[in-house]
Amino acid sequence: MSQASNPIRYDRDGAVAIITIANPPVNALGQAVRQGLWEAIDRFDADADARIALIVGDGNLFLGGADITEFGKPPVEPYLPDLCTRIEDATKPVVAAVHGPALGGGCEIALGAHYRLAVSGARFGFPEVALGLIPGAGGSQRMPRLTGVGPALDAMCSGAPLSAEKALKIGLIDRLVEGDPRAEGLAYAQELLAQSAPTRRTGALPAPAHDADLFASARKSWAAKSRGQVAPLRAIDAVEASCTLPLQEGIREERRLFLELMETPQRAGMIHAFFNDRKVAKLPELQGIAARSLDHVGVIGGGTMGAGIATACLLRGLTVTLIEQDDAGLDRARQTITGNLDAAVKRGKLADSAPALARLSLATDYAALADADLAIEAVFENMDVKKQVFGCLDAVMKPGAILATNTSYLDVNEIAQATSRPGDVIGLHFFSPAHVMKLLEVVVADQTAPEVTATAFALAKRLGKTAVKAGVCDGFIGNRILATYRAAADRMILAGTSPWQIDEAIRAFGLPMGPFEMSDLAGLDIGYMTRQRKAATRDPRDIVPTWADEMYHRGWLGRKSGSGYYCYGEGSPTPNLEVQPLIDAARGDQSQQVLEPEQIQRRYMAAMVNEAAKVLEDGIAARPLDIDVTLLYGYGFPRWRGGPMLWADREGLPGLLADIQDWAREDPWFWTPAPLLERLVAEGKTFGDLNEGAA
């Protein structure tokens, strides 16, 4: 490889060989970088005038992880595990000077070096678990030798990055500095030379002690937290190998586990989700459309949702003006926002809450929004109330300002008509808690201007959220589908299965909670009010969960009242068995059938997928991947399954359609097959084919 085409530069400063990684934009560990590093270490070993080597990254970071352009392709030599061992086997000391993120393979390269220096702000870690994998180049064997087992298990099972300060504390790095990584790394290398520092190979350090109880506890904990995901448990197996096997045998065991995971459906599901995250915001209609400037955001309503939206904006440097009806409401909003920001400080998401609070102002007069670039209403879910708010916003806000509604269900077109500027109106459906949940449904109304949509996506990016474009209908993408699979659960109750059996089966599928646990969390008053809102237009063939209405009338509102489908008090929630007589009354004398967990999961998922196909057919979602992303980030669908549309493709659309047609014999209105699903089966296609067509 010529020096001109080589992304690795080799030069010397006295006795220090400086190996610079220059593969913009992220110094990804593609084949050319791996080859270049190998050749640079060979050259260093042969360079009689070089006594120590410094590996440093050019640009904004040390080394990115795997090159995503190589995903799905056969691996090409030199393989990363061999490269890490080659660096470790260098005959003279090698120093890694790390700045920016050194994650995955980048972290493993650093572990292969003999000494590690990090610039403040650097991050280390192993995010492979988010792709259904474990470290595959010796990370699970070398890190425990430096840090001990506990920190290694935490890093590899969670995938969470470590700050440079934390890395120093646990022994992952040797020195923490401020300033330029090349200059600081060079100074450190010269200091090591002056000390005649040896080649201190990480793999030659003593293996950590094997604590069987620690590993048993870790497996129990992660089996519960991972909800069916395999990779965290395989990471535990790999780290345990570092305690019981010599280095090279441990690396071979790690590689065996890594390659085993490469072939699992979970890994494919998480890769599907990974690429969808990158595709979801790429909308052809927004190419070349510039977003409007956005620095000052108004929020109308200081309840849980409004305060959460305000917090999300403050955390990302925006100025916020919050409007409430009276001073008492403003006081409550300030307290909530202050609590949210203080919690962010405790979690390490924010260094100090004072600057964020300084950007917050509160008022009872809409005139305070005269200079705002965007206003987001988060008031009571009532059309008349929202129209009144938008009339006030229309009167005071400057030309070009964007008027957004956070409605979960209501018609954004109708809301827009309450203003003289419907082109500036858009839906921004945040999910609660708004400063934590990652999904933002961008609901584009009929007259929404393209630059308003572009601004909404720019806002989502600034807030660190994943935006999905949705059309206007009752519930948009997520809540429309949710209403349908929740209705399937209600039908299973009437047919003889208990709400607690359904919840248990759905948790076993991988969701964090079942539909009735979710109802308790949201509040059963929400479901009751939604049913009341839809009563006038409800199809007579639909069913009404009369037991849930009776629960509302009895004041059983879920967690906030202490009882709902479950009783809440000391310890874990327990089933509220007083609900059973209400269910029995609703069932009447119809025959009963208790479904097995697999049958519950099949019906629940079939309802989800069938309605999702209708959402696609109606143009509410543009692509199946938009639905997958929505369910992953807004509704807790297990990431390792990739999303409901990928799940359906894997299960097989013909079999799924056959089941739906079979259930339609008993309930033809609810189980009407989606025409799109029927067409895909007839044509031998999948939802994935629609993604490719859209791309």
In angstroms, the Cα distances linking 607 to 543, 631, 668, 678 are: 15, 14, 13, 14
Q: What is the H or E stretch that residue 15 is in?
A: none
For residues 21 and 10, give the distance between their C-alpha atoms in angstroms, rounded to a whole number. 9
Q: Which of 534, 564, 526 is nearest to 547 (CA)?
A: 564
For residues 232 and 646, give the distance between their C-alpha atoms in angstroms, rounded to a whole number. 22
Give the number of other CB atoms < 10 A from CB of residue 362: 20
Give the number of other CB atoms < 10 A from CB of residue 519: 26
3-state secondary structure 640-680: HHCCHHHHHHHHCHHHHHHHHHHHCCCCCCCCCCCHHHHHH
Catalytic, out of 140, 479, 498, 519: 479
One-character DSSP codes across 574-619: EE-TTHHHHHHHHHTT----PPPHHHHHHHHHHHHHHHHHHHHHTT
For residues 520 and 78, give the distance between their C-alpha atoms in angstroms, rounded to a whole number. 54
Read off the tokens for 574. Answer: 């327990």
Give the SS3 label for residue 426.
Answer: strand
Amino acid in the structure at residue 57: G
Amino acid in the structure at residue 687: F
Non-local (6+) Cβ contacts of 46 within 8 A are none
Residue 517 designated active-site:
no
In angstroms, the Cα distances linking 321 to 204, 324, 358, 391 are: 58, 10, 11, 18
Q: Which of 545, 521, 517, 519 is nearest to 531 (CA)?
A: 545
User: Are 476 and 429 in contact, with CB atoms under 8 Å apart?
Assistant: yes
Q: What is the H or E stretch that residue 296 is in?
A: strand 296-300
Read off the tokens for 386. Answer: 């929202």
- Determine what percent of the chain falls in helix, strand and coil, rounding each to the nearest 5: 55, 10, 35
Catalytic, out of 441, 451, 517, 611: 441
Residue 221 designated active-site:
no
Non-local (6+) Cβ contacts of 291 within 8 A are 451, 454, 455, 457, 458
Work out whether strand 162-163 and strand 115-119 pair parallel, antiparallel, or are unpaired: unpaired
Task: Name the β-bridge partners of 296.
Answer: 319
Residue 340 designated active-site:
no
Q: Which of 401, 391, 378, 389 is nearest to 455 (CA)?
A: 401
Read off the tokens for 406. Answer: 């956070």
Catalytic, out of 114, 296, 429, 435: 429
User: Are 16 and 54 in contact, with CB atoms under 8 Å apart?
Assistant: yes
Residue 27 designated active-site:
no
For residues 151 and 144, give the distance between their C-alpha atoms in angstroms, rounded to a whole number. 8
Catalytic, out of 353, 406, 408, 563: 408
Q: Which of 56, 11, 9, 6 is nearest to 35 (CA)?
A: 6
Q: What is the H or E stretch that residue 450 is in?
A: helix 450-462
For residues 82 and 251, give the distance between their C-alpha atoms in angstroms, rounded to a whole number. 10
Give the SS3 label for residue 54.
Answer: strand
User: Are 263 and 279 in contact, with CB atoms under 8 Å apart?
Assistant: no
Catalytic amino acids?
Answer: 408, 429, 441, 479
